[in-house]
Amino acid sequence: MKTRILALSLIVITVFTFGLMPAAAQEDDCYAKDGMWDADTNTCVITVGVTVDVGYPLELAAYPEASAVIDAFIADQQQAFISSYAPDYTLPSHVNNWWMGISHETYQFSDDIRSVLFTTSFYTGGAHPNSGHTAFTFDVATGTQLQLADLFVGGSVPWDMISTLVQDDLNTRLTEMTDAATIEAGTGMNPDNYQSWVLTPDSIIFFFDPYQVAAYAAGPQQSEIPLSTFAEQLNAPFAT
């Protein structure tokens, strides 16, 4: 289900009607003004404002603890984005037409242990949009949010092992789009590099934002590690 929220009132400006000018010339002049030509009304419409689109993971809505975390995340993202809106009307109109979209994908390790990955895409007037990941994993039976340390015996995350496996994987797959130094900088043994992760029935997947391990053109990246790789290091029920 998708919720569409218009923040600040979307400003739609009818600039002028072109009279008897040829249709092609009207459209060209409209586009030159950063507008969209409406052939039905013969008007050039310039849109500026800020829009937020949110796709809510209804699969988790029935679980109060999970939905509370999700609701807080969405509210924080909306508030931060809307409050940062700072139009500059000396610039072309499209620069002031900001947009943020939050989509999601859900994963299940089991009936009780579920993950949701949010992808937040946004445009703030720059040369291109950008995006980022945020993931949560819940034990819906106990109403708790799981941290990565909860998967491992004694809460001891094998950062050296994870980092090596992820770097080997990305270096193998991204030979044309990045270099080993960039990958190492974004996947070193710093917990901040591994904030976004989800669980499947037999693996853990780490997600990396654009620029974290490669150039923007390479897009976001992910690396999947079989849970069996960690053998005796995992707590029940994650040990396979």
Q: Where are the domains of the chain?
A: 6-48, 147-240
Picking from 70, 195, 63, the residue whose alpha carbon sits closest to that of residue 142 is 63
Q: DSSP letters of 27-68? A: HHHHHHTT-EEETTTTEEEEEEEEEEEEE--GGGTT-HHHHH
- Rounded distance between C-alpha atoms, residue 48 and residue 21, angstroms: 26
73-114 pLDDT per residue, tens: 999 999 999 999 999 989 888 899 999 999 999 999 999 999
Picking from 128, 129, 127, 124, the residue whose alpha carbon sits closest to that of residue 96 is 124
212-235 pLDDT per residue, tens: 999 998 999 999 999 999 989 999
Q: Supply the pLDDT for residue 15.
A: 42
88-92, 149-153, 187-191, 200-204: least confident range:
88-92
Q: Supply the pLDDT for residue 23.
A: 65
Beta pairing partners, 118: 104, 134
The residues near 99 (Cβ < 8 Å, ≥ 6 apart) are 50, 51, 52, 53, 122, 123, 129
Higher-pLDDT residue of 200 and 39 is 200
- Rounded distance between C-alpha atoms, residue 96 and residue 49, angstroms: 6
Domain with residues 147-240, CATH architecture = Alpha-Beta Complex (3.90)
* DSSP label at residue 225: E
Q: Supply the pLDDT for residue 175.
A: 86
153-179 pLDDT per residue, tens: 999 999 999 999 999 999 999 988 899
Residue with tokens 């859900």: 106
Q: Is 155 exposed, middle or buried (0-12, 13-18, 19+ CB in 10 A)?
A: exposed
17-65 pLDDT per residue, tens: 444 456 678 899 998 888 889 888 889 988 899 999 999 999 999 999 9
Q: Supply the pLDDT for residue 22.
A: 63
In this prediction the pTM is: 0.85
109-156 pLDDT per residue, tens: 999 999 999 999 999 988 889 999 999 999 999 999 999 999 999 999
